[in-house]
Amino acid sequence: MELRSRSSDHPQPAAFSTTWAIKPCAVSQSATGTGPRLQLWEPRNFEWNQVRTPIRSLPDGLEGLRILHVSDLHMQARWWPVYDELIERIQRDPPDLLLFTGDFVESKRNHVPAVPFVHRLLDGFTARLGCFAILGNHDRYHFAPRLDGTPVTLLNGQTARIDHQGSMLEIIGLPGVHRRDLTNEFVASCGSKAPGTLRIILSHYPDHIRRTGSLRPDLFLAGHTHGGQVCLPGRIPILRHDSLPRRLCSGVHNWNDTWLVVSRGFGFSGLPVRAFCPSEVIELTLTRTMR
């Protein structure tokens, strides 16, 4: 595995496109269990949503690659039984990649009490090709050193390149914890996608997909919205904390030939309640064609 940081010594303006198109979703989806319509005080139960994701230019060596997308744990100084269930499920059949899109902890002011519990959970994470993560707005910058010694590799403005069965995987972690941390300079520094490469972008914010279209990612994974956390029946979000259309607050969507994958997250933010918006993890299985 090769890990690279993007240099900003010679910044160049990025040509961001303001045009975009959303195409009908053409993925095969299934769920293991149905999450509760109402959750109070603690995360209880969760959905394990499996999505078969067709990628036209998928390299031969990546056919059937399984990616587990986890996001928004918002952990505090306590351990809930559902964390044991998550660890057991991951270890029962480890994915090829485990990708986390920010907000390990809930408290923005003092994450220290939650750190032992975060470590206990992350120590249970496993994936054949590695576990990679970015920070979220609740983590702030000072949480990064707390990931040292865990199975998780932090990609804060960095790119991991993995050669797997003669095919190249490229995972770009967008920088920082605030929307403003993503700069034209950084996007320009990433360069064009090499032929025969699967490019994945990790972003805490779904609407950053508007600013990274020039990178032509195959997958764009994000969190932050919690799917609304408190929704109307039918999972219609009241608040989405993002500038994308309301229906893109969660789920898998085709955006200009990129699969936009927005997790509803695992924990709570603010009020300890979820309504019509169960916690989830998303398992993506990559394929060239639908079966």
Token pair, residue 86, equals 């998550």
Residues contacting residue 30 through CB under 8 Å, at least 6 positions apart = 49, 50
pLDDT, mean over the chain: 88
Residue 277 has pLDDT above 50, yes or no: yes
Looking at residue 184, its pLDDT comes to 94
Query: Which residue in this structure is represented by tokens 């990708």?
Result: 99
Residues contacting residue 168 through CB under 8 Å, at least 6 positions apart = 59, 161, 162, 194, 196, 197, 198
Phi, psi of 185, rounded to the nearest 5 degrees: -60, -45
Query: What pLDDT digit, counting tens, does each position of 209-261 carry?
Result: 999 999 999 999 999 998 888 888 988 888 888 888 888 988 999 998 899 99
Give Cα 181 distance to the centre of its chain.
Answer: 17
Whether residue 35 contacts residue 45, with contact meaning beta carbons closer than 8 Å, is answered with yes
Query: What pLDDT digit, counting tens, does each position of 17-67 carry?
Result: 333 344 445 555 555 557 778 888 888 889 999 999 999 889 989 999 999
- CA distances to 55, 181, 243 from 4, rounded to whole Å, are 25, 18, 30
Query: What pLDDT digit, counting tens, does each position of 188-200 carry?
Result: 999 999 999 999 9
Select the more confidently predicted residue: 206 or 7. 206
| pLDDT > 70 fraction of the chain, expressed in percent and rounded | 88
Whether residue 17 contacts residue 214, with contact meaning beta carbons closer than 8 Å, is answered with yes
Q: What is the mean pLDDT of residues 106-114?
A: 94
Whether residue 136 contacts residue 102, with contact meaning beta carbons closer than 8 Å, is answered with yes
Amino acid symbol at 216:
R
Residues contacting residue 64 through CB under 8 Å, at least 6 positions apart = 285, 286, 287
